Every structure is written in C-alpha cells, then in structure tokens.
C-alpha cells in the first residue's frame, strides 16, 4: 500500500500484526446494533423463508410416491419430522386425482408464502444496509471535517474520495447482500440437511463427503481474494487521485501542452488497476469451476448410491426425488459460498481502508478540560494533543482580539513517520493589541502564511507560544475560536454554488442587505450586479467562471460578512490591481478599526497604513515598526518600497 494510506504517527512504533478480515468487519457491529430490532425481524422473516422453502421438495416427493402408487409417502421419513408434516400427509391417497389436485394447490400456496417472506427479508435487510451506509457516510464526513491540515498533507484527495465511495459501497454489500445470503445459506443448508438425514442418514453421509473439500477451497481462495481486493482498492485510489488531479488542473495541463504525458501516466495507473482485477478474475476462474466440480461429484454420488437404494427398495422413488430436490436446493448455498466469500473479502479490505479514516485522530482539538465539560464537542478519544500549563478552560463567550506570540518556533510535522521538518518560524516574539492592524511582509518562503495559519489554528503552535487575550489559543473551544476569526487564505476557494451562497457561507441567518454591504466593502458589488443573475450567478467548480481578482474579493466579502473579532488576510489582494486594492483598503478602513487585523502582503502599498509592520526573512523577524520608521532604517522594507516605486513609475511611462 502506498504511503498515502499510512496512519500519521509522531513516534516510531513496532509493526503490528495485520488485522484479519473478521477483525476489520467486527468494527461494523456498533452500526448493526443501532438497527437490532429491524435486523431481528429480518432474520425471523429469513428463517420462515427457509422453513417454508423446505416444503416444496417434500411435496414433490409425496406427489411422486402418489403417482407411483406407493402405499405411504416418503416412507423413510420418521420421528419428529414426520410428526410435523402429518397434516400434509393426512389426505395422501395413491393414484388419487383429488389428492393430486390438493398437493398441487398446496405447492402453489407454499411458493407464494415463500415469496412473501423472501420479499420482506430483502426489504428489511437491504434497507438496514442502506441505513448503515447512510450512518457510515455521515461519520466519514464528520471525521474528515474534523481532521487537521497535517492529515490532508499526507493523504491525497483522490484516494480519500475512493475510500468514501467505492470502499463504502463494498462495505454496504457486506451489510446487505453479504449478511442476507450468508443467513439464507445457513438456513437453507440446516433445513435441507435436517430433512435429508431424516429421509436417509446413510445417503446423506455419502453426499456430504465433498463438503470438507468445499471448505478448504473457500478458505484457500478467500485468502487470495482478500489480498487481491486490498491491492485493487489501493490501485483504484491511485487511479482516482490521478483523475481528480487531472480534472482539477486541466487548465495547467493544457497551458503546458502536457496532455499526452498525463494520459500516459493515467494509462499506467489504469493498467495497474486492470492487471490486479485480471489476477482476481484468474482466481475466480479457478474457484467457481472447483465448486462446480465438487457439486458434480455430489450429484454423481447421489445418483449412484441413491439409485442402488431405490433398486433395492430401501427408499421409495418419491424419497429419492425429494432427496435430489434437497441436494439441488444445496447447490445455491454452495455457489453462494463463493459469491459471499468475494463480498466479505472485498468488504473486509474496504473496511480496513475506511477504518483508517474513522479511527484517525486530529492533532488539533479541544483541550482536555473543555472536552470533559463539553463531551459532545470532543473528537476521537478525547486525549489532548499537547497540554498547556493552564488548569482552567478559556472563556467561551467573547474574544477581544489581542494576539501575542511568545518565543514561537514552528516546524511543519510533515516529515517521514510524522517527524518535524525544518523550522519555518524561529523565536517569534510579537504582540498585537486588540483592534490594531499588523502587517507582515517578506520574501517568498519567509513564513508569512504560516504565521497567519497559526492564528486560525489551522496548524498547532507549540504550547504557551501563542495567546489570545492572554489565554493560550489551545484553551479556546475550536468553534468559538474559529467563529471569531475571518480568514482569507491566499489560495482562494469557492464552492460550486451561487455568489450569494459563497459570500454567506458560515452565516446562520443571511440577509440580502448584509450580503450587498459585504460585497460593496470588497468592491465587487458593481461587477456582481452587472451579471444577468446578479448574486444568484453560479460560479462553477472552484469559481472557474470568475477571474482571480473576483474570486479573491468574493472570499474577502465572505470573511467580512462574518463580522469577526480577528481578521486574517493572507495575501488576499495579490490578484487585484493597485487602484482596486486602494479602493478595497479604503472601504476596509472602518472594518479594520473595529477588529484586530493581520495583513500579509508583498506590496508596500497594501501595508503602509498598518499600526505596526514586521518583516520576516527565513522565519525570523528582522525589522519591525511603522511605515515611516522602517523607511528610516534603510533595510529590506525600504529597499522593497523603492523597488515598487520604480515599478509604478515605469508602468505610468
């Protein structure tokens, strides 16, 4: 399995024994227990189907003896079985037209009753599987939304999508057809073997000789199918990832004329997926003929040994035909064993892949104190990731917006085996008073975006190094913290919805005048109103119908509408021209005065009016002060200012 499917771990652990197929599938038991009443009713209906399904064979045997003028129907049937069926044999009469007609009517009635119970068996059990699929899908999405950036840096979107679609469907097949066919097979085999033993114990022993070979074949091929199923699902994950990346980046592929290389890369992944499936087909090509051969041997044994007993008049012809009908009834369970084996092995492999998501624990979650007070908000097992030295929970009502960095050193935990990579930020000491504006500038890769992401707690700062209103950021409930922050990342993302829904994302009660006001502050209202459908315009996938600047301003309006106490703008004006930027900043003036603002930018014109400006370089603060103070230093900031002035003069010329 590729690295993308490996769990995130911060420490090296001893390799554990790989769980068995049942070890994976037993994780579904809590979901099944939620619907235990429906499952119980379904099993009762299935049992009744099996009981009623045994009667046609006995009726056919009785009809045969009636036509053969046997004095007693199914003469070898004795004991409790004959006592149970006494009402059926009560009106037996050799060569009687009346008895023949009654048996035919009873046979039709039995088949109708069997069909009735079979319908409810499928309706209930398959319905339960759909309900559990619904629960699983919700739990998977809940878990994925709770996971932090570290998880997504190590797992590709295409592979995750494959897990929550194809793997989930394979698991549903276990819960529906898998359980139903297994229970049907057991019920059918038990009833058939019971009556076969009552009809002729000796003949039953003969026809069951191939059963151990069937069990061996199922176990042997089952292990092969399980292994190949895991490889197929992993290969499908890689294939899905390739398709998702190609579709998402189709414009880049076309711009660089990389259609042929990408097609070739997809073809290799596709071929690998097909090759694994062909190997599985090869196993099936051996498995089913082996089962068919064993079934054929059983029929030959019955014809030979049973024929001898009929000739020697040890059993009646009706008994022989009933026995043959029961053996025919056992053919489906023997074939179903192969089908169910495939379902369970595929489902076990898929459940293992789903369990990776369901058991994943986010490193960023509420502190232990908060989880004890509000267990409904806890994710995973409730264990804290790095405790701070505070013993009480942070206030959950309001956040004023004072931000302080204390000797913050940070490295992304994305190295091999969960280890940290090189330091991105080093010994950052910085205090941002509530309601003030901090601007962060610096060359590419200096750690500006990382600093902004830490404030939104998209990555976890070391304990005690990042405080809001004097309280460690870890002590705030995640929902309270993030509802107090308006974050506009540099990689703008819009949903495939209308502009209005994108701007109003995350707001419980949305008013049109508020949407319009937010759009006006972001200086995009005029362009939106020029569209034929205005705010009801669909933006397409990832906002493909909008320009880069329009997407950035839509994202900015979304953050403004939330009215956060902390506003983080991570290079969110990079795609607009300087004139538009100036208009946006003027409109943002009143908004920024009411809240703490962190403004990450490359252009000096964006940050010159900030209350304080810091210059990051290689993860360290090398300059800090106001615009005028930094110009007086004559350092990086002053040099950047002079270069941008020169660029503006050249543009005017």
Q: Where are the domains of the chain?
A: 26-358, 430-461+478-484+566-653, 492-563
Give the Cα-Cα-Cα angle 175, 179, 181 (nearest 5 degrees). Answer: 130
- Percent pLDDT > 90 in the chain is 1
Mean predicted confidence (pLDDT) in 410-417? 74
Q: Lowest mean pLDDT of 19-23, 90-94, 591-595, name the range.
A: 19-23
Banded model confidence at residue 652, pLDDT cuts 50, 70, 90: low
430-461+478-484+566-653 and 492-563: identical CATH topology = yes
pLDDT-based confidence at residue 417 (cuts at 50, 70, 90): low
- B/e letters for 441-477, b = 16+ CB within 10 Å, e = fewer, are bbeeebbbbbbbbbbbbbbbbbbbbbbbbebbbbbbb
**pTM of this prediction?**
0.70
387 pLDDT band (50/70/90 cuts)? Answer: very low
Higher pLDDT, 601 or 158: 601
Lowest-confidence segment of 385-394, 480-489, 615-624 by average pLDDT: 385-394
pLDDT for res 500: 84
Q: Is the pLDDT of residue 269 over 50?
A: yes
Alpha-carbon span 552 to 8, nearest angstrom: 33
Q: Say which range, 245-259, 331-345, 442-456, has the weakest mean pLDDT.
A: 331-345
Which CATH number does 430-461+478-484+566-653 carry? 3.40.50.300
pLDDT at position 284 is 73
Asked if residues 584 and 597 have their Cβ atoms less than 8 Å apart, the reply is: no
Give me the CATH topology for the region 492-563: Rossmann fold (3.40.50)
Residue 367: CA count within 13 A, CB half-sphere: 22
pLDDT, averaged across the chain: 79
Residue 307 to residue 320: CA distance in whole angstroms: 8
Provide the pLDDT confidence category of residue 108 given band limits of 50, 70 and 90.
Answer: very high
Most confident of the ranges 114-123, 284-293, 537-546:
114-123
C-alpha 300/C-alpha 447 separation (Å) is 78
pLDDT at 392: 38
CATH number for the domain formed by residue range(s) 26-358: 1.20.1560.10
Of 36-50, 222-236, 301-315, 527-541, which one has max mean pLDDT? Answer: 36-50
581 pLDDT more than 80: no
Residues 589-600: tens digit of each pLDDT: 777 777 888 888
pLDDT greater than 80 at residue 125:
yes
More confident residue, 519 or 540: 519
Distances (CA, A) of 413 to 146, 402, 416, 456, 613: 18, 27, 9, 17, 28
Please give the Cα distance from 253 to 262 (Å, whole number): 8
Chain-centre distance of CA 353, in angstroms?
A: 9
* pLDDT class of 78 with cuts at 50, 70, 90: confident
Interval 326-378: pLDDT, tens: 877 777 676 667 677 777 877 888 888 888 888 888 888 776 544 444 433 33
Q: Is the pLDDT of residue 203 over 50?
A: yes
Task: Give the pLDDT of residue 651.
Answer: 61
pLDDT of res. 19: 55
Above pLDDT 70, what percent of the chain? 88
Please, what is the angle between helix 317-358 and helix 55-67, to 10°?
Answer: 170
Q: In terms of pLDDT, which residue wins out, 225 or 637?
A: 637
Per-residue pLDDT for 291 more than 80?
no
Residue with the bigger pLDDT between 606 and 339: it is 606
Q: Looking at mean pLDDT, say which of 122-136, 183-197, 222-236, 328-342 comes out highest.
A: 122-136
Rounded to whole angstroms, the Cα distance separating 613 from 630 reads 8
pLDDT exceeds 60 at position 491: yes
Phi, psi (deg, nearest 5) at residue 323: -65, -45
In this predicted structure, the answer to whether residue 14 has a pLDDT above a threshold of 60 is no
> End-to-end distance of the chain based on CA atoms, in angstroms?
59
Distance of CA 140 to the CA centre of its chain: 4
For residues 125-134, give the mean pLDDT. Answer: 88
The predicted pLDDT at position 112 comes to 92
Q: What is the pLDDT of residue 626?
A: 87
Lowest-pLDDT range of 468-477, 536-545, 602-611: 536-545
Compute the average pLDDT of residues 623-632. 86
20 falls in which pLDDT band (50, 70, 90)?
low
């Amino acid at each position: 399995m590729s690295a993308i499917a490996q769990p995130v771990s911060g420490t090296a652990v001893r390799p554990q024994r790989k769980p068995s197929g049942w070890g994976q599938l037993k994780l579904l038991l809590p979901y099944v227990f939620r619907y235990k009443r429906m499952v119980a009713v379904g099993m009762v209906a299935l049992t009744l189907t099996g009981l009623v399904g045994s009667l046609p064979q006995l009726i056919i045997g009785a009809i045969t003896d009636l036509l053969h003028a046997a004095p007693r129907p199914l003469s070898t049937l004795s004991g409790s079985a004959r006592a149970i069926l006494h009402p059926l044999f009560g009106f037996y009469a050799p060569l009687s037209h009346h008895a023949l007609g009654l048996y035919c009517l009873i046979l039709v009635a039995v088949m109708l009753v069997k069909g009735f119970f079979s319908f409810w068996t499928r309706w209930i059990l398959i319905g339960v599987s759909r309900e559990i699929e619904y629960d699983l899908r919700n739990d998977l999405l809940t878990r994925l939304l709770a996971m932090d950036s570290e998880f997504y840096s190590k797992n590709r979107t295409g592979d995750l999508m494959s897990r929550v679609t194809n793997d989930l469907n394979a698991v549903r097949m276990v819960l529906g057809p898998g359980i139903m066919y297994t229970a049907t097979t057991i019920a059918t085999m038990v009833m058939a073997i019971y009556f076969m033993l009552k009809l002729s114990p000796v003949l039953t022993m003969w026809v069951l000789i191939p059963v151990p070979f069937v069990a061996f074949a199922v176990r042997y091929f089952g292990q092969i199918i399980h292994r190949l199923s895991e490889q197929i699902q992993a290969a499908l994950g890689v294939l899905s990832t390739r398709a998702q990346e190609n579709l998402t980046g189709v414009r880049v592929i076309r711009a660089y004329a990389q259609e042929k290389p990408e097609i070739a890369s997809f073809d290799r992944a596709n071929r690998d997926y097909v090759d694994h499936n062909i190997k599985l087909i090869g196993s099936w090509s051996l498995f089913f003929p082996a089962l068919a051969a064993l079934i054929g041997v059983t029929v030959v044994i019955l014809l030979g040994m049973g024929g001898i007993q009929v000739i020697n008049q040890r059993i009646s012809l009706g008994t022989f035909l009933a026995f043959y009908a029961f053996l025919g009834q056992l053919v489906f369970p023997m074939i179903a064993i192969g089908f169910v084996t495939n379902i369970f092995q595929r489902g076990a492999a898929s459940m293992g892949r789903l369990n990776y998501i369901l058991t994943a624990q986010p490193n960023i979650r509420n502190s232990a104190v908060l989880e004890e007070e509000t267990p409904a908000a806890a994710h995973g097992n409730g264990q804290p990731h790095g405790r701070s030295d505070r013993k009480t929970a942070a206030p959950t009502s309001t956040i004023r917006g004072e931000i302080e960095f204390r000797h913050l050193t940070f490295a992304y935990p994305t190295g091999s085996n969960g280890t940290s990579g090189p330091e991105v930020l080093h010994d950052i000491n910085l205090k941002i008073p509530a309601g003030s504006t901090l601007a962060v500038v610096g060359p590419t890769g200096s750690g500006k975006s990382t600093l902004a992401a830490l404030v939104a707690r998209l990555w976890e700062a070391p304990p005690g190094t990042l405080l809001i209103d004097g309280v460690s950021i870890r002590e705030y409930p995640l929902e309270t913290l993030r509802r107090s922050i308006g974050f506009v990342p540099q990689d703008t993302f819009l949903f495939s919805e209308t502009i209005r829904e994108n701007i109003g994302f995350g707001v419980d009660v949305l008013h049109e005048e508020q949407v319009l006001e937010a759009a006006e502050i972001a200086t995009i209202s005029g362009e939106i109103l020029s569209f034929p459908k205005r705010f009801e315009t669909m933006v397409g996938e990832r906002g493909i119908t909008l320009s880069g600047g329009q997407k950035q301003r839509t994202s900015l309006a979304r953050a403004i509408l939330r009215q956060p106490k902390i506003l983080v703008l991570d290079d969110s004006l990079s795609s607009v021209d300087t004139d538009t930027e100036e208009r946006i900043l003027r409109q943002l003036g009143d908004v920024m005065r009411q809240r703490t603002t962190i403004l990450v930018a490359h252009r000096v014109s964006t940050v010159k009016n900030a209350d304080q400006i810091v210059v990051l370089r290689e993860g360290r603060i090398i300059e800090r002060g106001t615009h005028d103070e930094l110009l007086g230093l004559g350092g990086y900031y002053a040099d950047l200012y002079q270069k941008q002035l020169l660029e503006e003069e050249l543009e005017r010329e």
